[in-house]
């Protein structure tokens, strides 16, 4: 297994939780809630910023946002592991679904949802 593979990171995250007796709290429901909370904490770093400001965060703010993004990733990986979801396979499946929903020749330059065109 590759050192930085999803499976290796998931195993390390699980070991971290087991070592602290946190597995009892890491049900899919709780992990989904934690994921949502961390996503909201990430959004907080961009609240009230315009496009230019959001693309040019000061270094400390960027570091803080990066840590929140890592928290989102961690809870995503834990939730996938607890649910038995292969994130790589499922991502490729979802990309294929999105390609059908959003054909480039029809949606190029548009932010509309697929149900709107």
Q: Which residues contact 22 (CB under 8 A, 6 or more apart)?
A: 16
Number of H helices, E strands in the chain: 6, 0
Q: What is the pTM of this model?
A: 0.89
Asked if the model's pLDDT at residue 115 lies above 90, the reply is: no
Asked if the model's pLDDT at residue 97 lies above 90, the reply is: yes
CATH of 1-85, one of 3.90.1150.10, 3.40.50.1820, 1.10.287.1080, 3.30.200.20: 1.10.287.1080
Confidence category of residue 114, pLDDT binned at 50, 70, 90: confident
Q: How much is the pLDDT for 53?
A: 98
| Structural domain spans, the chain | 1-85, 86-117
């Amino acid at each position: 297994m590759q050192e930085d593979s999803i499976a290796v990171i998931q195993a390390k995250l699980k070991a971290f939780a087991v070592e602290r007796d946190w597995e009892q709290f890491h049900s899919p429901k709780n992990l989904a809630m934690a994921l949502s909370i961390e996503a909201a904490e990430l959004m907080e770093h961009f609240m009230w910023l315009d496009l230019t400001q959001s693309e040019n965060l000061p270094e400390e703010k960027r570091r803080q946002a990066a840590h929140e993004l890592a928290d989102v990733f961690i809870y995503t990986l834990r939730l996938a592991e607890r649910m038995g979801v292969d994130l790589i396979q499922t991502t490729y499946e979802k990309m294929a679904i999105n390609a059908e929903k959003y054909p480039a020749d029809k949606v190029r330059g548009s932010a509309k949802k697929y149900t709107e065109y």
